[in-house]
Amino acid sequence: MSWDYSFNEKALKQLRKLGHEPARMIVAFLREKVAGDEDPRRFGKQLKGELGEFWRYRVDDFRIICQIEDVQMVVLVVKVGHRKNVY
């Protein structure tokens, strides 16, 4: 069983604003690491506090904030950005 990933509308817009190379790296990470694995949690870290329902993945200087939906086996990307601006 492998997982899939998708972007919400806001995250897709943020991804486009990052530029071609960062967007390519982020999509490649999601496709190669997260989507092809049995447990997407092993590549990320769960956030704490009121953001505790979200997970973050680190790709170079960029962060991917996701919601992991176990029932549908989908990692929903809700926010993408440079590490200094994403939280």
Task: Please give the share of the chain, as a percent, with pLDDT higher than 90.
Answer: 89
55-59 and 62-69 as β-strands: parallel, antiparallel, unpaired?
antiparallel
CATH fold of 4-82: YaeB-like fold (3.30.2310)
How many Å apart are CA 2 and CA 7, to the nearest integer?
17
Alpha-helix runs per DSSP H in the chain = 9-18, 20-29
In this prediction, residue 43 carries a pLDDT of 93
Question: Hey, what are 3's tokens?
Answer: 């997982």
- What pLDDT, in 10s, does the model give residues 17-57? 999 999 999 999 999 999 888 999 999 999 999 999 999 99
Average pLDDT, the chain: 94
Q: In this predicted structure, what is the pLDDT of residue 1?
A: 67
pLDDT at position 36: 81
The tokens for 42 are 């092993």
pTM of the model: 0.91
